[in-house]
Structure 1
């Protein structure tokens, strides 16, 4: 795996995120995993906002959501290593607008020191299905456990895939009290390909994971009231677009420009 990434420097941050999160009632990981909000089969809606706007929105969510807390921490550091072919098959699937597409990755949760091999499938129905296998560290994709899992879950030859991008970020997870909905907010995002890296401490990527039947929720209302609009955004595709200059990226130009705009406007979080 590529070298682990430290969070971007936040010494000059002026926003008290911890105080905003302290107002939320906590929920445990076991309770989340046993609830309807676990949502491995779901619809996803994504949002980009400045970090200071995110902190301003949080108080509007406290009555309707609980915050995931693991061993006293309400933020968790994630590292996700994406695999692709030499020709960037899965990246180009997304870029070229293929309705059914895949992502292959290892995700490491630093707070619990657990790792999962994950296949993420976006179906032509608009739904996202994630399948995962807990692993002991980072095995080879051809090892018996991963090999069997991928043969059942991934339609391509995993032997042609290798690490191409590492993303790292701090994640805050909010869980709806009375319906099947989960919110994630990713902060202090860093992309790294082993030779170059980019960091975005002033930008927050929000995502609402919900069942298709959910048309409106307190989070959607609060974000809309704050002027935060939904947008398609793939951390993998944006990271590849930024760090692999030779690949076409026309489909993602609007998001790349918006990301830079927010990064120049926002304040970082503490």
Structure 2
């Protein structure tokens, strides 16, 4: 198995998107970014793969996106593949029966972890990913291509076990016990933001049409409407988009598609460090 860099692949937690949904989401993304020059996938990965990075996340009302993107620097480029600028993602998050990943992340523990199976819905390509904290506030993500969906094979279990042990995740967390805990789907537009100095380019993603669901054909699901999750992925220096967001009164928030989604869907779970973003930014007060 070979670790690969971050690549895009419409929404719908069952892995299927209707033509109308894809068209609507793609049309919005095309309109927001019509003034930006395109960049191809290979050039984007080569320029700013950023698998070890500082992530800053924001929740922005969708109505603000046109003005925000109109103000980005002229050298900003948008990922375009075969004329499309928005791509469907599905993430199946894995956790232990005791929800160790949820609790470690929600309590801000240093030795937290995240494991997911990510599928790019436009291509059907699936990866197994593990994400752990890196040095000095960075995040480290590694991943391997999956040849199949479903239970992990021996090689995939070994890959995860080696990464979790290297990250000093608590010993009681066993790879063999990982099982689906949450599904999220969304559509993503990716920007390349040119830095002021060589080697300081960064990326940003705009996620729309987010839907959270518990595993199972008839489980609860929760669409997040009229909100865009903006994530900047930089080195140590904030990007031009970060500065634009700050100037408009937006500050980074604690949002995790896994932790926040699970806390929103399961009323038996505490909201931990995600209570403010759920109530203030997403408009989801506890019932």
SS of residue in 1 equivalent to 2:283: helix
Q: TM-score, normalised by structure 2?
A: 0.82
1:3-47 Cα distance to aligned partner (Å, 9 max, x none): 32648979999x954222121111111111212x11000111111
- The structure-2 alpha-carbon separation of the partners of 1:71 and 1:154, relative to structure 1 and needing over 3 Å to count, comes to farther
SS of residue in 1 equivalent to 2:69: helix
1:123-149 Cα distance to aligned partner (Å, 9 max, x none): 4631100000011131422x1331231
Aligned counterparts of 1:133 and 1:10: Cα–Cα separation in 2: 27
SS of residue in 2 equivalent to 1:246: coil
1:165: which partner in 2?
182
SS of residue in 2 equivalent to 1:61: coil
- The structure-2 alpha-carbon separation of the partners of 1:64 and 1:225, relative to structure 1 and needing over 3 Å to count, comes to farther
SS of residue in 2 equivalent to 1:148: helix
1:268: which partner in 2?
none
- The structure-2 alpha-carbon separation of the partners of 1:72 and 1:137, relative to structure 1 and needing over 3 Å to count, comes to farther
Structure 1 gap segments, 5+ residues each: 264-270
1:186: which partner in 2?
207
Deviation, structure 1 residue 154: 2.3
Aligned counterparts of 2:122 and 2:23: Cα–Cα separation in 1: 22
RMSD across aligned positions (CA): 2.5
* Alignment counterpart, residue 251 of structure 2, candidates 209, 224, 229: 229
Residues 1:200 and 2:206 are matched in the alignment: no
1:266: which partner in 2?
none
| Aligned counterparts, 1:65-214, within 5 A | 65-123=76-134, 125-141=136-152, 143-155=153-165, 156-178=173-195, 179-193=200-214, 194=216, 195-212=219-236, 214=237
**In the alignment, is the contact (CA less than 8 A) between 1:117 and 1:135 conserved in 2?**
yes
2:35: which partner in 1?
23
* Higher-RCO chain (CA-CA 8 Å, sequence separation at least 6): 1
1:60: which partner in 2?
71
Count of aligned positions = 257
Aligned counterparts of 1:97 and 1:151: Cα–Cα separation in 2: 21
Deviation, structure 1 residue 158: 1.3
Q: Which segment is superposed worse, 108-117 or 75-84?
A: 108-117
Q: TM-score, normalised by structure 1?
A: 0.87
